[in-house]
Chain A
Amino acid sequence: MNELPAVLVSGVVSGATYALLGLGIVIIFRSTDVVNFAIGDFGTFGVYVAFALLTRGLPLLIAAIAAVGVAGLLGVATERAVVRPLGPGKTFAALVLTLALSLILVSLAGQLFGHQPEPFPALVPGHVAILGLVVAWQKIATAALAVVAMAVIAFFMRFTRLGVAMRAAAEDHYAARVVGINRGLVAAIAWFIGCALAGLAALLLAPDATLTVTLMVAPLFRAFAGVFLGGLESMIGAAVGGFAIGVLDDLAGRYVSASFRDTFVFAIIVLVLFLRPAGLLAAQHRQRV
């Protein structure tokens, strides 16, 4: 039996979540120059909140919205409380700060919700057969929701005043201030969108993986790989890179070695960095420190 279609589908589906995370990373980086290493844990935390709501009998839809919203609001609060006071131009200190935040969030989740893996229900239960291939509705929903979310982001960035302002601010912080763009607002929205996307990604990953505090560690790594493929500055690049890593990772896991998947992904990153330090899709390399 030919497994390739199944592997490809599963690759695209996991790639969709990496793309969401990668998009979040890029949006936050472009607006605030911060590589948010804690972004996955914001998502995990949001899903834990959703889990708590579910166990109290609230409907899945409300819980899901809460997951995304909580993740986004946590992001906004973090940006305001600790990232902004750090000051601009401290790229590495900011990375260390988010590493510390990641530790805090994981432990806080563990303290509040326990370290036992918890089952999380699929958003859409059941399976469907497409062209002889049995696919879980959850997988289809994952890919669909991810694509819809990305389309919404694209629309927002392209056609709304605020979105255009955010892109302008990302291109040139100083010039954006000169023309009257409120940097604080842009930063807050970027962190909300970025972390909410992570919440959505965590929500989509939780049913398959079961909910643990380390839910997002492996996906985050792959999302970063995708961001490298596409370039830290490119939103489209991050999304495309995420899908690419998802497919490559699953192909490697199936046909190369199931044990050395991270190593394989790492090899791809190194290769890309050597060939195109600014990412495959980046037009031009810009130092922004």
Chain B
Amino acid sequence: MAQARRLLAARWRVAAALAVGILAYLATGPLLLTDRYENFVITTVAIYAIVTISVSELAALSGIWSVGHMSFVAVGAYSAAYLGGHGYPLPVIVLVAMLVAAAIGFLLGLTAGRFEILYLAILTLALALVAGEVVGRWVAVTGGDQGASVPPAIILGHRLTLDEITSLAILTATAVFIVVDLAAQGGPGRRWLAVKNQRTAAVAIGLNPALANASAFAASAAIAAVAGVVLALQIGYISPDFFSLTSAINFIVAAVVGGVGSTAGSLLGTAFIVVLPELARSTKDLQVIVFGVLTIAVLLFVPEGIVPGTFRRITPLLIRRRRPTIVDSDTGLASELEEWLKGRPVARDAELVVEKVSVRFGGLIANQNVSLRIPPGNVVALIGPNGAGKTTFLNVLGGFVRPLKGAVVSFGGHDLLRASPRRRPGVGIGRTFQHAELFGELTVEETVRLAAAGARRPAGESAAVSAAAVLDLLRLTRVAGERPDALPFGVQKRVDIARALATGPSLVVMDEPFSGLDLNEQQQLHELILAFRRAGISVLLVDHAIQEVLSLADRVCVLDYGRLIAEGTPVEIQSSAAVQEAYFGRKEKSA
């Protein structure tokens, strides 16, 4: 339903982009509605819009703000000048430019995970400055400050005229808008958003954050380079002036003013940065001042950008938004789930083996010689007071923290200490989170489908089918089209379980699954975990909720000050003096 709505919206946007493209083509081309100068402005808008959308979507989908995209435009433009000068045909030039820009973008994107948004923005700003210097000084290729003339483009032996270049620019922009929109709404966009929203949870369903950022940046850079090639062809002569810091900043302004992640906004924002200066060519200072003031006004009064801001204001008038519905009745859930789980192709003989895990943070010993086993189909609980080292242990299991030498962590024969964190779902370990950690910009259905995409599924079953089955089983179908912020916390935590389930786990590691749930929800979760066990799926519960855990678990391990102080059946644990002391303090301790 939500899926259909989104696809419909995407189809509308494709149609709109085509319509705008065809209109612009007809007006500038066959119908002769515009003069030379207007053609020039329209061509410029088309070319710059390509850059704006590459900047805007990169920010929207990956959270990476690149102030350095002008460098990639320069790569394209100087490729056109240099390679064109050596007689290469246009397709080769475009290909080379895209590859070079993508390579630089890929490297920058790889670093993205290490930095805050701000550092990366300033890093790319520095890239823009350096690009300016290289363009100005690398005379052999760029012609230095003198600039370089761009030979006419040749396609299939035909020299393009200026009018044809206008058409080429419009065609390219239309194609880029459609491709970018489809990619943003499709698989790549979902993956990038998931990584942007929740890095750890994205890793837990097998995504590779560094690769996601790098591929997003590479794609964005390659698109900007295409714009650079067409720009060079249009103006026929390029010099460092075109690639100044001011023009680099302009694209950010265009993206922000139009609305980040909005295709229509990218076009509008580009018109803003191109047409406004053209309106007041004679008074350059005044024009820049007006430009700056308008930018600040948009930031202050329509912070989400003009297009999304307008939509937000008119949408409530057009569509009455229905309240998110409550989850369907749970009747029969446990038995249905059990049946379904039994039919899944997962290894049911995998044992989790943890031996001698010690973790030290400076002088603090967070885990000391922790060993435990989870035999197939068992529910094991790990409990302990605050600061006992439970989270550290989870992070060791997840691969985010390395234990000291001598430790063994393996699952079904796979050495987890040597596998990267995102390999966990691949070997059959699913994970849920204390605070659900759902992907804020994905719907429930998109989230679960993304998780199912990398999972082992029965032959012929698509990710969408398997996601639909999980949603149906967990009674989430009616909220499938909602984003997490529209859901009560209890439902969010169930979506988190659905996400873990969709990865096809044979062991589910649950971090405080009972916290934040009401009594009814706790009871439902209880049933659910028992269904896992009956289907031969193991569960590791890490929680404070002792009563819940004691009534569920086959075995209980108790951590305190980083050490396992007790291990046994729930009955043994309940009577253990050490556990009593850790939780309630020693009786004689009073001073």
A residues sitting closer than 8 Å to B (CB atoms) are 35, 82, 85-86, 90-93, 95-97, 99-101, 103-104, 106-108, 110-111, 217, 221, 224-225, 228, 232, 259-263, 265-266, 269-270, 273-274, 277, 287-289
Contacts and interface: CB of A to CB of B under 8 A. Distances in A.
Contacts of B252: 96, 99
B15 interface: no
Contact of A273 (B114, B133, B288): B114
B117 A225 contact: no
Nearest to A94: B299
Nearest to B139: A259
Given A90-B303, A225-B126, A273-B114, 9 more contacts: A91-B118, A93-B256, A97-B295, A103-B246, A107-B288, A261-B133, A269-B123, A270-B126, A287-B116
Contact of A35 (B122, B126, B284, B295): B122
A100 B256 CA distance: 12
Contact of B256 (A85, A96, A101, A287): A96
Contacts of B137: 259-260
Contact of B133 (A85, A92, A260): A260
B16 interface: no
Contacts, number: 112
Given A86-B300, A266-B127, A103 B288 contact: yes
A273 B116 CA distance: 11
Dominant secondary structure of chain A at its interface with chain B: helix
A107 B119 contact: no
A270 B119 CA distance: 11
B286 to A, nearest CB: 7
11 contacts: A85-B300, A86-B303, A92-B65, A93-B256, A96-B299, A260-B137, A263-B134, A266-B130, A269-B123, A273-B114, A277-B115
Contacts of B118: 35, 91-92, 95, 232, 289
Dominant secondary structure of chain B at its interface with chain A: helix
B289 interface: yes
Contacts of A99: 249, 252-253
A217 B245 contact: yes
Contacts of A93: 256, 299, 303
Interface string B235-252: 000000000011001001
B134 A107 contact: no
Top 6 closest pairs, chain A to chain B, by CB: A104-B292, A107-B288, A111-B285, A100-B295, A107-B285, A100-B292
Interface of B: 65, 111, 114-119, 121-123, 125-127, 129-130, 132-134, 137, 245-246, 249, 252-253, 256, 284-286, 288-289, 291-293, 295-296, 299-300, 303
* Residue among B121, B252, B296 facing the most chain A CB atoms (10 A cut-off): B296
A261 B136 CA distance: 12
Contacts of B125: 224
A104 B289 contact: yes
Nearest to A93: B299
A91 B123 contact: no
B121 A111 contact: no
Given A91-B117, A289-B116, A289-B117, A108 B296 contact: no
B285 A82 contact: no
B113 to A, nearest CB: 10
Contacts of A85: 300
Contacts of A90: 303
A91 B246 CA distance: 20
B111 A273 contact: yes
B129 A266 contact: yes
Given A225-B126, A277-B114, A287-B116, A263 B133 contact: yes
A100 B253 contact: yes
Contacts of B126: 221, 224-225, 265-266, 269-270
B578 to A, nearest CB: 35
B118 to A, nearest CB: 6
Contacts of A110: 285
Contacts of A273: 111, 114-115, 119, 123
Contacts of B303: 86, 90, 93
Contact of B130 (A82, A232, A263, A288): A263
Contacts of B286: 107, 111
A273 B110 CA distance: 13
Contacts of B296: 82, 97, 100-101, 104
B438 to A, nearest CB: 19
B289 A107 contact: yes
A262 B252 CA distance: 22
A35 B125 CA distance: 13
B502 to A, nearest CB: 29
A110 B115 CA distance: 36
A103 B299 contact: no
B292 A107 contact: yes
A82 B115 CA distance: 27
Contact of B253 (A82, A96, A224, A289): A96
Contacts of A225: 126
B407 to A, nearest CB: 26
Contacts of B114: 273-274, 277
Contacts of B284: 107
Nearest to A261: B133
Contacts of A104: 288-289, 292-293, 296
Given A96-B256, A110-B285, A273-B119, A262 B292 contact: no
A260 B256 CA distance: 32
A263 B127 CA distance: 8
* Residue among A100, A104, A110, A287 facing the most chain B CB atoms (10 A cut-off): A100
A141 B35 CA distance: 60
A90 B118 CA distance: 11
A224 B122 contact: yes
Contacts of A228: 119, 122
A273 B299 CA distance: 30
A86 to B, nearest CB: 6
Given A100-B292, A262-B133, A273-B123, A108 B249 contact: no
B449 to A, nearest CB: 29
A75 B122 CA distance: 21
* Residue among A35, A104, A265, A289 facing the most chain B CB atoms (10 A cut-off): A104
Contacts of A108: 285, 289
B74 to A, nearest CB: 14
Given A262-B133, A266-B130, A92 B117 contact: yes
A103 B291 contact: yes
Nearest to B59: A92
Given A104-B293, A107-B289, A277-B115, A95 B130 contact: no
Given A35-B118, A95-B118, A100-B296, A262 B123 contact: no
B273 to A, nearest CB: 11
A47 B257 CA distance: 32
Given A270-B123, A273-B111, A277-B114, A86 B129 contact: no
Contacts of A277: 114-115, 119
A101 B524 CA distance: 56
A262 B129 contact: yes
Nearest to B123: A273
B285 A101 contact: no
A91 to B, nearest CB: 6
